[in-house]
Amino acid sequence: MKILPTDFEGQSIRRVYDEDTETWWFSVIDVVQVLTQQPDDLTARKYWNQLKRRLANEGSQLVTTCHQLKMPAADGKQRLTDVATAETLLRLVQSVPSPKAEPIKLWLAKVGYERMQELADPALTLNRARQTWQQHGRSDKWIQQRMTGQETRNKLTDYWSEHDIKKGSEFAILTNIIHQEWTGVSVVEHKEAKGLTSHNLRDHMSEAELIFTALAELSTRQIAETADATGMTENKSAAKAGGRIARQARQQLESQTGKSVVTGENFLPRVSKKIAGDAY
């Protein structure tokens, strides 16, 4: 996942884009703070907690569609916070009397429009991503492999969308099956091995990990296309078969090199540790 801070009239609103489920998640607290013009996130959180209770008592399903994800808090630490999609937030805005309601709805629509532009012209997404990776010090070779892998991923998710697979949880389930098959660990376990929290796993893969991920997803799509796989059951079978092909290739490479392809290495900034007795 990629966390992208953004502003609404000078107020920071945290949002996360989940590439696996192709979903934007927005911080509910940040949006509530803007709507209610609370002085800080603490009072905004209290307002949101009261609103949640009222909505629950009214039988509203809005609260159940909110989730929790880790986002950077004011103290710089990653903390769980309530998040919601733009669709849920648009409905939530109706429950908060505020002169900011209409501007917030227009802002959310603009975010959605930007995403639609990227879908219509994928080059926009790739150019922005390339600039970000360059700023983070990635090599041209790594960037090219990352972009090639993303194109492979997009073709697979396009196939899923056209064959009765729902964006969101079903995308995530199939993605995890492919990943588990070729790596031997789940997406969550792989992220934990790399010390990642809300980060995008693919942005912290080695070149080899990117290549084998692309092989697994390419194989999955071609197997699914050959069988005209439709729905979760048939696409789960394709996902397992595609992942196994990449696993066999990984095992062959590892037997020749004696090195593990799946690694805990990442691109996180190194934290310098002060050693007792040293002067800094």
Q: Which of 59, 112, 118 is nearest to 85 (CA)?
A: 112
Residue-wise burial string across 225-252, b where 16 or more C-beta atoms lie within 10 A, e elsewhere: eeeebeebebbbbbbbbbbbbbbebbee
The dihedral sign for the CA sequence 196, 145, 172, 135: positive
Residues 211, 218: Cα–Cα separation, whole Å: 10
174: Cβ contacts below 8 Å, ≥ 6 apart: 160, 165, 232, 235, 236, 239
pTM over 0.75: no
98 vs 185, higher pLDDT: 185
Give the max Cα distance, the chain.
66
pLDDT in tens, 206-250: 999 999 999 999 999 999 999 999 999 999 999 999 999 999 999
Please, what is the angle between helix 187-194 and helix 169-183, to 10°? 70
- pLDDT digit string (tens) for 15-62? 887 766 667 788 999 999 988 888 888 899 999 999 989 888 888 888
Greater confidence (105 vs 238) lies with: 238
Q: Which band of pLDDT confidence, cut at 50, 70 and 90, is reported for residue 280?
A: very low
Residue 6 has a pLDDT of 57
CA distance linking residue 106 with residue 125, whole number of Å: 22
